[in-house]
Amino acid sequence: MANLATTFDTVVDTALDRTVAPGYTRLGLAVRRRLPGWPADPEPGALDGRRAVVTGASSGLGIATAEGLAALGAEVVLVVRDLEKGARVVREVQGRLPLARLELRRCDLADLDDVRALAAEVDGSVDVLVHNAGAMPPERTESPQGHELTMALHVLTPVLLTDLLAGAGRLDDARVVLVTSGGMYAQRLRADDPEYLDGDYSPTTAYARSKRAQVELLPELQSRWAAHGVTVHATHPGWADTPGVSESLPTFRRITGPLLRDADEGADTTVWLAATEPTPAGGRLWHDRRPRPAHLLRRTRTGEAERTAMWAWVRGAVEG
């Protein structure tokens, strides 16, 4: 009977994942939570004495992630671009969690010089680093260093910030989580055009390409920081109702609104990955507390030469 239950659990979960629309909605999460194989919640106080850094922590998934980690006992550093907005978030979270230990840091995460300054300001150890900050500009935009903005924010900044903190001895035995997007399943890695200079610019395509790069580079990143005891994970939240979706994809939100996950549901696996024991193996993509394939379509599959070329571009951009 146990084997039959496990098989049923796997079949239902996989069907939800491969059909995309049902699995990415709040209904998909509700079904999975009722399956016998749903992983247990972290224990209360699982992050007592731990310190977490969450980027993009002033809205949507970032707030939910910071609050979820704080509720498990972590001291949380909220990295925001707008300190006034960040201060409001801190007050709101502490209104719900009076004992929450929250710290605020300002950084324009698209600016690699600002990222270097942030890394220099972070003192003490960091046990959890969540790269949540994201953007989908309506037209091609460049970072202060001249890189296409979504690639700068979603790929270059996580690599640079993690590199700097690990190199300074701040991330020993830490868990690093990149918040990606299921939209990356529709795109292949574009190592030939990482700056999106060719063709007509599409904000949704640029966003998905940068998220594809995050997932493709997971094995490289896991290898790069393994000597520090770091495990690297990526998680996609499904379809969550966030300010970013409302601003960038209003038609999608209007059509799917009742089915969208709330921010807490979207952040569930990120918080779970940060706190569950034992530490999950690194270098994998997760959704709804289970590892997921990096590709669903044959046309998006990546060769080793493409991955190597993209990694060389990333290294050149952050080390140059």
Rounded to 5 degrees, φ, ψ at 254 are -65, -40
CA–CA distance, 256 with 183 (Å, rounded to integer): 15
- Is the Cβ–Cβ distance between 143 and 110 less than 8 Å? yes
- Is the Cβ–Cβ distance between 25 and 261 less than 8 Å? yes
Helix (H/G/I), strand (E/B), else coil: 20 = coil
- β-sheet with 175-179: strand ranges across: 101-106, 75-80, 51-55, 128-131, 175-179, 231-235, 284-287, 290-292
CA–CA distance, 262 with 241 (Å, rounded to integer): 5
CA–CA distance, 172 with 190 (Å, rounded to integer): 32
Contacts of 244 (CB under 8 A, 6+ apart): 59, 60, 134, 135, 136
CA 307 to chain centre: 20
CA-CA-CA-CA dihedral for 155, 159, 160, 163, to nearest 10: 180
Is position 207 annotated as part of the catalytic site?
Answer: yes
Record the tokens describing residue 132, joined without a space: 């949540």
DSSP percent split of the chain into helix, strand, coil, nearest 5:
50, 15, 35
The residue from 24, 185, 196, 207 that is catalytic is: 207
CB atoms within 10 A of CB 250: 10
Q: What are the residue numbers of the active site?
A: 207
